[in-house]
Amino acid sequence: MAAREKLTSLGEAISANVHQGDTVFVAGFGHLVPFAAAHEILRQRIGGLTLARSGADILFDQMIAAGAVSKVTFGYLGNPGIGLGHAFRRAAKEGSIEIDEWTNFSIMLRLHAARMGLPFMPSRIMQIGDQPSGGKDLKTVTCPYTGDELAAIPALVPDVALVHAQQADAAGNVQIWGVDGDTVEGALASDRIVVTVERIVGRDEITAAPERTRIPADRVSALAEVPWGAHPSYAAGYYTRDDQHFFDFDKVSRDPDELSAYLDRWVYGATTRQDYLELIGEKTRAALEAGLQGRAGS
């Protein structure tokens, strides 16, 4: 695919690659969480989704509250460092979503199997402790070398991955640094990859630091430049985590009506990127950027 076909608007990237009923891998592990891309899914009213991720945060809660989710495949789901995912908890209690709970590591194994083109990964995990009684109908395999019986952890192949990164060139070579969690495994396990970045850079900047190129251009389905696309999470080298936003979300998400008002303001009402930046506020953006002094590019 030519570079001009990959570099597009966020709206076009989502409409062309995310469909009703898809399994969506949501990248980021506290860092580089693709809030902007997911919010565009909600604005386009794409639903019936299965969301997959090892450690899920308030973005899952927002999408569940919006009614876009039919199933979650995860290892952890909550408001990191603060508390519960309240919309998730309500949906689980009501039985309105299907819950497919694993461990963080077993999600990684499932994604790694898919990335390698394998049907499963052999492992001793989920054969000990209380995991076997967690409702998983896991198959087993016998090791041809030792004769040991091992769990066969099935591959997880998402239809599409949402990834936010620091930068990419117009061809789609995506550079990520800092904590990446299961981002690369999940992206490369997926059939399609939608990438948003803080900025588009020239090829010279990409080739100057090849070790930062974590997703190659040939795997990227669509690319959009979306500044502050990970807010309220953080982007190493650009801005720190908006802790106050996470605390505020904990409060509003306890009440369905307040959460609905939050979505109206931060998702449905922010139809342009400038709308969203104005909601954050110039003072808050400056403070989050100032938190990186002496650490830019780290």
Instruction: Indicate if the pLDDT at residue 202 is higher than 50.
Output: yes
The helix-helix angle for 243-252 and 58-65 (nearest 10°) equals 40
pLDDT category at 4 given cuts 50, 70, 90 is low
196 vs 29, residue with greater confidence: 196
Tell me whether residue 298 is in a domain: no
Residues 33 and 130 occupy one common structural domain: no
Residues 184 and 279 occupy one common structural domain: yes
Query: Domain of 12: which CATH number?
Result: 3.40.1080.10
**Count of domains in the chain?**
2
Tell me whether residue 111 is in a domain: no
Range of the domain at 50: 3-106+156-290
Mean pLDDT of 94-99: 97
Residues 149 and 162 occupy one common structural domain: no
How many Å apart are CA 59 and CA 79, to the nearest integer? 9
Residues 92 and 45 occupy one common structural domain: yes
Range list of H helices, the chain: 3-6, 10-17, 35-43, 58-65, 86-94, 104-115, 183-189, 203-208, 243-252, 256-263, 273-280, 282-290
Residues 132 and 252 occupy one common structural domain: no
Mean pLDDT of 34-40: 99
Instruction: Indicate if the pLDDT at residue 23 is higher than 80.
Output: yes
Mean pLDDT of 189-194: 99
Tally of CB atoms within 10 A around 63: 26
Residues 267 and 161 occupy one common structural domain: yes
How many Å apart are CA 30 and CA 80, to the nearest integer? 8
How many Å apart are CA 168 and CA 76, to the nearest integer? 29
Residues 163 and 146 occupy one common structural domain: no
Instruction: Indicate if the pLDDT at residue 1 is higher than 90.
Output: no
Tell me whether residue 112 is in a domain: no
Instruction: Indicate if the pLDDT at residue 161 is higher than 70.
Output: yes
User: Is residue 48 classed as helix, strand or coil in its secondary structure?
Assistant: coil
Whether the pTM exceeds 0.85: the reply is: yes
How many Å apart are CA 112 and CA 155, to the nearest integer? 7
